[in-house]
Amino acid sequence: MPAFTSYKDSVDFMYTQLPMYHNIGKIAYKEGVENTFKLLETLGNPHLNRKWIHVAGTNGKGSVSSMLSATFSQHGYKTGLYTSPHLLDFRERIRIDGICISEETVLSFVNLVYDDIVDIQPSFFEITVALAFYHFNIENIDIGIIEVGLGGRLDSTNVITPILSVITNISYDHTDLLGNTLTLIASEKAGIVKSGVPLAMGPMPQEPRGVIQRIAKEKSSKVYETIPVDRGFEKILSLKGNYQKENIQTFSNAIEAIKDLYFPIKRSLVLKALSNINQLTGLRGRWEILETHPLVIADIAHNEQGVRAILEQLASVLLEKQTWVFEQCVAGNRLEVAKTHFVWGMVSDKDRATILALLPKDGVYYFCKPSVIRGCDADTLRMEAHSLGLQGMAFGSVSEALRSAYSAAKLQDIIYIGGSTFVVADALPWIDAKQ
């Protein structure tokens, strides 16, 4: 048994010795929870005898999980939050009341389970899930919010019996793993529904809704899905993406279920939590405004539904910019028409053609490769985009693309950073260091 002496060594071991989905994609995905159960058993089954809320869905899982986590923390509960992937630091995945797991805890955990890892051969994600439950248990949390990594039924997190299940929405993503119809995807997501455990559902098309409702009925799970939204929640939420309206509906449904589980939820504390969600949970990359002149926005939307929502909001913001430019010209201040500069990258196993076809042809594009193995080559992406009428240049890194976009953008312009979670992850350190 090697004794790792540094946090970096322990994390490098997890990264390099075992498959990691966000680096290599589908071949890192292990169906089933057998390895997770085995690893947890060596740790004394820390996932048992705790209160959990399990959150699945195609989009909005991270936002809804963070809303719930912030709410419980604001009410004084010691609250664990497990999400994936991370943006800047592996430790972001595992937090208690917004505080990341310590480097020392990660190091000691890897040393503790090294022999079991060699024996069981779990994936990176399975190890990380076990680490989360181990940390939450030794820290004696009151409640943990657990975000599904991929799918639901066969996800490594699906070893718990929660007090509440949440499914945010259903749309097309990871179709090579979850199925190519909304019915199949819904069936996989509904795999987190447990017998007698209530379910909060978000807005979604009727086809997947019917599938999930049927499964919930078979499991005798009470469904919360049409609870009136407290408009105060929507107004005060610090996350400003228009798509958060759907997430607030999901959150409202979940809050009603939580009240029925005899948690004394106070509206004033919910409002305070929602207004401080970034500080309470560390959530980033959701319509995050990084600068104002030019307006710089980053968002992790990366599938068709998410990108459509983002583009609608961008079009609205650009129209406001154009109106302002016109007013300035009338006043005698001659300005060029406002433009949107897209710093855009994707991963190689996404349906790039469908998503690229959504992008506006009047945008200025800076195609780039995110720094993960799955990252799509920038020249390949540029050529695919060019065939669809999008014009731009290719850059070998996100930072190079950002530098060019900043040089070209006028004060009235917009710089949008997206296409992949990993583009945002590469962009944030560069922009944070610039400020």
Boundaries of domain holding 371: 288-434
Residue 1 within any structural domain of the chain: no
Instruction: Say what the pTM is.
Output: 0.93
Q: State the pLDDT at residue 326.
A: 64
**Which pair of tokens denotes residue 353?**
């053609």
Q: State the pLDDT at residue 25.
A: 43
Q: Is 206 found in the same domain as 64?
A: yes
What's the Rg (C-alpha) of the chain?
22
Residue 2 within any structural domain of the chain: no
Q: Is 243 found in the same domain as 352?
A: no
Residue 237 within any structural domain of the chain: yes
Beta-carbon neighbour count of residue 400 at 10 Å? 18
Looking at 248, 281, 314, which one is the last position of a domain?
281
Q: State the pLDDT at residue 349.
A: 79
Q: Is 77 found in the same domain as 166?
A: yes
- Cα(415)–Cα(319) distance, integer angstroms: 15
The stretches in the chain having pLDDT less than 70 are 1-2, 17-31, 151, 172-180, 324-328, 330-335, 435
Q: State the pLDDT at residue 23.
A: 45
Give the type of residue at 176. D
Do the beta carbons of residue 122 and residue 18 sit within 8 Å?
Answer: yes
Residue 108 within any structural domain of the chain: yes
Q: Tell me phi and psi for residue 242, to 5 degrees.
A: -60, -30
Looking at 238, 258, 281, which one is the last position of a domain?
281
Q: Is 132 found in the same domain as 18?
A: yes
Read off the CATH number of the domain in which 271 is found: 3.40.1190.10
Q: State the pLDDT at residue 185.
A: 87
273-295 pLDDT tens trace: 999 999 999 999 999 999 999 99
Q: Which residues contact 94 (CB under 8 A, 6 or more apart)?
A: 80, 81, 82, 100, 101, 128, 131, 132, 135, 136
Read off the CATH number of the domain in which 402 is found: 3.90.190.20
Q: Is 186 found in the same domain as 146?
A: yes
**Residue 208: is the preceding peptide bond cis (ω within 30°)?**
no
Domain tally, the chain: 2
Do the beta carbons of residue 279 and residue 239 sit within 8 Å?
Answer: no
Beta-carbon neighbour count of residue 38 at 10 Å? 16
